[in-house]
Amino acid sequence: MAISTADFRTGLTIETGNGIYSIVEFQHVKPGKGGAFVRTKLKNLRTGAVTDKTFRAGERMEQAMIERQSMQFLYRAGDEYVFMNTETFDQMPLPRDVVGEGANYLKPDMNASVVMYGDEILAVEVPNTVDLAVAKTDPGLRGDTATGGSKPATLETGAVVNVPLFINEQDLIRVDTRTGEYVQRVSS
């Protein structure tokens, strides 16, 4: 489906040059002299690289039809992560580079979205926040909480995040998967 720069919106996926891109940011510019143009930041869905690109106003390109399929993470086997389609129950092993940074927050039976372009799997999107148990961290000493410091904690998935000093082993915490930061303690 052909679209023009007037149809741009954040999150729209387009096919241009030799890649499939998602529009991260765009701005229509009408200079005093010359023709109008659209300045964009595009994220390559195959590599994850973000680039700047300028289009002439009214320029046409193909919209990339991206499909998101909900799948359940089953287990990890070496460098592969096995997902199951929740409708057909087909299992699909995916390499670490396709799963990306989300692999640090995957635990068995968690649902994730697999992003596909035709038959090509581009990425795996995990939920924005996940609740994980703290597997290992130094104990917080009484009185340390007044300073508002932080300490590293290893989670049940192996990811390491900085947490407040009052967090102990076996505490359940919420982590933002986009930034890798501690959000809150869910329970202790």
* 105 shares its domain with 135: no
**Does the pLDDT of residue 148 top 80, yes or no?**
no
pTM for this prediction: 0.70
* 6 shares its domain with 51: yes
Q: Provide, rounded to the nearest whole percent, the portion of the chain with pLDDT above 90.
A: 6
**Does the pLDDT of residue 147 top 70, yes or no?**
no
Tokens (6 digits) for 17: 């040059």
pLDDT in tens, 83-114: 998 888 889 898 888 888 888 888 888 999 88
pLDDT at 34: 85
Residue 43 CA to residue 66 CA, distance in Å, equals: 14
* Residue closest to 135 by CA, chosen among 107, 110, 160, 165: 160
Q: Provide the number of structural domains found in the chain.
A: 3
Q: What is the CATH number of the domain that holds 7?
A: 2.30.30.30
* 79 shares its domain with 120: yes
Residue 59 CA to residue 94 CA, distance in Å, equals: 36
- DSSP designation for 51: E
* 11 shares its domain with 36: yes
Residue 53 CA to residue 14 CA, distance in Å, equals: 12
Q: What is the CATH number of the domain that holds 142?
A: 2.40.50.140
* 32 shares its domain with 46: yes
**Does the pLDDT of residue 13 top 70, yes or no?**
yes
* 180 shares its domain with 151: yes
Tell me which of 106, 125, 144 is where a domain ends.
125
**Does the pLDDT of residue 138 top 70, yes or no?**
yes
Range 18-23, long-range pairs (CB < 8 A, 24+ positions): 19/44, 19/45, 19/46, 19/47, 20/44, 20/45, 20/46, 20/64, 20/66, 20/117, 20/122, 21/45, 21/64
* 92 shares its domain with 133: no
Tell me which of 125, 140, 172 is where a domain ends.
125
pLDDT at 188: 56
pLDDT in tens, 162-176: 888 888 888 888 998
pLDDT in tens, 14-48: 888 778 888 889 998 888 888 889 999 998 888 77
Rounded CA Rg of the chain:
21
Tell me which of 63, 80, 105 is where a domain ends.
63
* 107 shares its domain with 134: no
Instruction: For residue 24, give its domain range.
Output: 2-63
Residue 150's pLDDT band (boundaries 50, 70, 90)? confident
Q: Quote the mean pLDDT of the chain.
A: 85
